[in-house]
């Protein structure tokens, strides 16, 4: 049950996850076999940062195409981002056709492709006394958007705890985000202890937990569009062309994809 904490206040849901992201949360009395899968989410959210249906270079999606279809490189559908964002934002996955029927034809006679810049956002909760293990896929790095060590409800990490340790729900360490960001930003993986020794004790006597809101982002940009040298964290990108056998783009699990040349 979710309820507002005080009269005159309303609930604002920023995110939720039904699944499992670690081996410690809600693990009391459970066999190890039920705790092994930690990449489980009913709603890992896709965040669309930008999209472009058109052509910006002569090499992407050029295989087998005549030169006449690749010459125009200042071609972009003005509705690209809004169309993709409307279809995909906040979803675990989405499919959208790279076609004129969806985006219009910004450059007649030019062979176009759809480029999508996106990330997948993951929530993570770790009970006090345990370690948060944040990890991205190979070639990706962690970007911490926010963190809180404390308690915001009476249910998270409550198994086996007396009611007296769960009453305070307005508890937050002010250093949470900066500490986690300093330890994890830009790394492929990191481990940080959910403990008073790391974050201080914002509410003595309350059993706390560490919540981390993060994304995994690509470490390198696609060669040809920009420098292939490390540029710091950037979003994953997907290129697709409107061929008959590959007519759509699917954004899944923050994986990076590149179209063939």
Q: How deeply is 29 buried, as exposed, middle or buried, from its count of CB atoms within 10 A (0-12, 13-18, 19+)? A: exposed
Pull the structure tokens for residue 195: 């403990």
Q: How deeply is 120 buried, as exposed, middle or buried, from its count of CB atoms within 10 A (0-12, 13-18, 19+)? A: buried
Residues 6+ apart with CB under 8 A from 192: 131, 132, 134, 179, 180, 183, 184, 198, 210
From CA 234, how far away is CA 52, in angstroms rounded?
17
Tell me the per-residue pLDDT of 54-88, one tens digit each, with 9 for 90 and over: 999 999 899 999 999 999 999 999 999 999 989 88
Tell me the per-residue pLDDT of 131-177, one tens digit each, with 9 for 90 and over: 999 988 887 888 888 899 999 999 999 999 999 999 999 999 999 99
pTM: 0.51
Average pLDDT across the chain, whole number: 76
- Residue at 104 is within a domain: yes
What does residue 33 show for φ and ψ, rounded to 5 degrees? -65, -25
Residues 6+ apart with CB under 8 A from 150: 171, 172, 173, 176, 202, 203, 206, 208, 209
Percent of the chain surpassing pLDDT 70? 67
What confidence score (pLDDT) does residue 225 get? 35
Pull the structure tokens for residue 169: 């729900």
Q: Is the pLDDT of residue 100 over 90?
A: yes
What confidence score (pLDDT) does residue 42 get? 45
Tally the domains of the chain: 2
Pull the structure tokens for residue 1: 């049950």
CB atoms within 10 A of CB 55: 25
Residue 89 host element (H or E): none
Q: Are residues 46 and 72 in the same domain?
A: yes
What confidence score (pLDDT) does residue 256 get? 30
- Residue at 188 is within a domain: yes
Which of 120, 153, 175 lies at the terminal end of a domain, its last residue? Answer: 120
- Residue at 156 is within a domain: yes
> In degrees, to the nearest 5, what angle opens at C-alpha 89 toward C-alphas 155 and 240?
135
CB atoms within 10 A of CB 13: 6
Q: Are residues 61 and 82 in the same domain?
A: yes
What CATH number does the domain containing 158 carry? 2.60.120.740
- Residue at 180 is within a domain: yes
What confidence score (pLDDT) does residue 38 get? 52
Tell me the per-residue pLDDT of 177-214, one tens digit each, with 9 for 90 and over: 999 999 999 999 999 999 999 999 999 999 999 999 88
- Residue at 13 is within a domain: no
Tell me the per-residue pLDDT of 5-23, one tens digit each, with 9 for 90 and over: 455 554 543 344 556 655 6
Tell me the per-residue pLDDT of 207-232, one tens digit each, with 9 for 90 and over: 999 999 888 877 643 333 332 233 33
Q: Is the pLDDT of residue 255 over 60?
A: no
Of 55-64, 84-93, 115-124, the least confident? 115-124
- Residue at 200 is within a domain: yes
- Residue at 25 is within a domain: no
Range of the domain at 182: 128-218
- Residue at 198 is within a domain: yes
Q: Greater confidence, 247 or 53?
A: 53
């Amino acid at each position: 049950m979710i309820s507002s904490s005080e009269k005159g206040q309303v609930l604002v849901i920023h995110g939720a996850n039904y699944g499992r992201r670690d081996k410690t949360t809600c693990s009391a009395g459970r066999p190890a076999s039920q705790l092994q899968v930690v990449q489980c989410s009913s709603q890992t959210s896709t965040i669309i940062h930008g999209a472009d249906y058109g052509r910006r270079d002569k090499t992407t999606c050029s295989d087998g195409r005549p030169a006449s279809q690749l010459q125009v490189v200042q071609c972009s559908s003005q509705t690209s981002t809004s169309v993709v964002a409307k279809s995909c934002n906040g979803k675990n996955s989405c499919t959208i056709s790279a076609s004129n029927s969806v985006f219009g034809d910004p450059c007649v006679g030019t062979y176009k492709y759809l480029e999508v810049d996106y990330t997948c956002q993951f929530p993570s909760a770790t009970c006090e006394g345990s370690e948060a293990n944040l990890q991205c896929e190979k070639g990706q790095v962690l970007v911490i958007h926010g963190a809180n060590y404390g308690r915001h409800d009476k249910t998270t990490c409550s198994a086996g705890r007396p009611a007296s340790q769960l009453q305070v729900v307005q508890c937050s360490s002010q250093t949470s985000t900066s500490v986690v960001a300093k330890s994890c930003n830009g790394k492929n993986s990191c481990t940080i202890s959910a403990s008073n020794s790391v974050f201080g004790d914002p509410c003595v006597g309350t059993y706390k937990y560490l919540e981390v809101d993060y994304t995994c982002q690509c470490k390198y940009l696609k060669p040809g569009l920009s420098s292939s040298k490390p540029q710091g964290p950037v979003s994953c990108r997907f290129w697709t062309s409107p061929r008959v056998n590959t007519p759509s783009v699917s954004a899944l699990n923050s994986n990076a994809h590149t179209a063939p040349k």
